[in-house]
């Protein structure tokens, strides 16, 4: 049994540590850290949070959410400015930018920006926590999360097996189907995006065009 467990740990360490980029290996959150955060998050929003709020009134959290939104605005604006004007606009190729494995200042900046973006996505998990505490339903937006989880389950299963070594390549006969799945998922996401465009377009028309016209006629 110890031999099996040791083999599992060695493969795990190889895939999730040794294969990592040396520039980010010891800086970014480890796989186990991310899994712990995500599992804790899911356990709260699916079990603990709803059960705890079951007999409580919704929290308003107005000031908390105002501060949260302000932080999101500042960090997102900073990341956009740095990535667009100081990286893409100055040095990157818009047609095809190859992976750069050097330690140049631009690459170092890009790595730091990606790290900050990743941290921001973890902070984004608070959106759902606020939904739970306010007893709000995120509605249709959850569909994208469902699709994303399904795709990542398949993709990272493939990456895991591929990273175990050449002797496991025979188990990857379904590689073609992974690519096909990604194509269809992109189609589904595009349709979902169009649905959001329709909903926001309808909201804009009803609130800012139709109502404005009705107000003018009334006057």
Comparing 218 with 102, the larger pLDDT belongs to 102
What is the per-residue pLDDT for 77? Answer: 92
| Count of CB atoms situated within 10 Å of the CB of 2 | 6
Phi-psi region of 212 (alpha: psi -120 to 50; beta: other; left: phi over 0): alpha
Give residue limits of the domains in the chain: 139-219
Residue 89 reports pLDDT greater than 60 = yes
Looking at residue 47, the DSSP 8-state letter turns out to be I
What is the per-residue pLDDT for 144? Answer: 65
Three-state secondary-structure class, residue 158:
helix
For the record, the structure tokens of 18 come out as: 């040794």
Q: How far apart are CA 153 and CA 82, in angstroms?
A: 32
pLDDT digits (tens, 9 = 90+) for 21-48: 788 777 777 778 888 888 899 899 888 9
pLDDT digits (tens, 9 = 90+) for 124-173: 889 889 989 988 866 666 666 667 777 778 877 887 787 777 888 888 88
What is the per-residue pLDDT for 32? Answer: 80
Residue 218 reports pLDDT greater than 60 = no
What is the per-residue pLDDT for 140? Answer: 61
What is the per-residue pLDDT for 74? Answer: 92
How much of the chain is in helix, strand and coil states, percent to nearest 5?
80, 0, 20
């Amino acid at each position: 049994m110890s031999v099996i467990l040791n083999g599992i740990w060695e493969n795990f360490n190889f895939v999730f540590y040794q294969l990592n980029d040396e520039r980010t290996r010891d800086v970014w959150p480890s796989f186990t850290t991310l899994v712990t955060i995500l599992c804790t998050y899911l356990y709260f929003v699916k079990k603990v949070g709803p059960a705890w709020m079951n007999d409580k009134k919704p929290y308003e959290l107005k000031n908390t959410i105002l501060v949260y939104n302000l932080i999101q605005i500042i960090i997102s604006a900073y990341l956009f400015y740095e990535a667009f004007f100081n990286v893409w606009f100055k040095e990157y190729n818009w047609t095809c930018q190859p992976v750069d494995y050097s330690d140049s200042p631009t690459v170092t900046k890009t790595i730091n920006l990606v790290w900050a973006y990743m941290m921001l996505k973890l902070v984004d998990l608070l959106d759902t926590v606020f939904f739970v505490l306010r007893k709000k339903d995120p509605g249709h937006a959850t569909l994208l999360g469902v699709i994303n989880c399904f795709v990542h389950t398949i993709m990272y299963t493939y990456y895991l097996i591929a990273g175990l070594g050449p002797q496991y390549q025979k188990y990857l006969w379904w590689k073609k189907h992974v690519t096909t799945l990604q194509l269809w998922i992109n189609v589904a996401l595009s349709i979902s995006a169009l649905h959001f465009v329709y909903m926001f377009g309808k909201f804009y028309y009803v609130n800012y065009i139709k109502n404005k016209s009705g107000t003018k006629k009334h006057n």
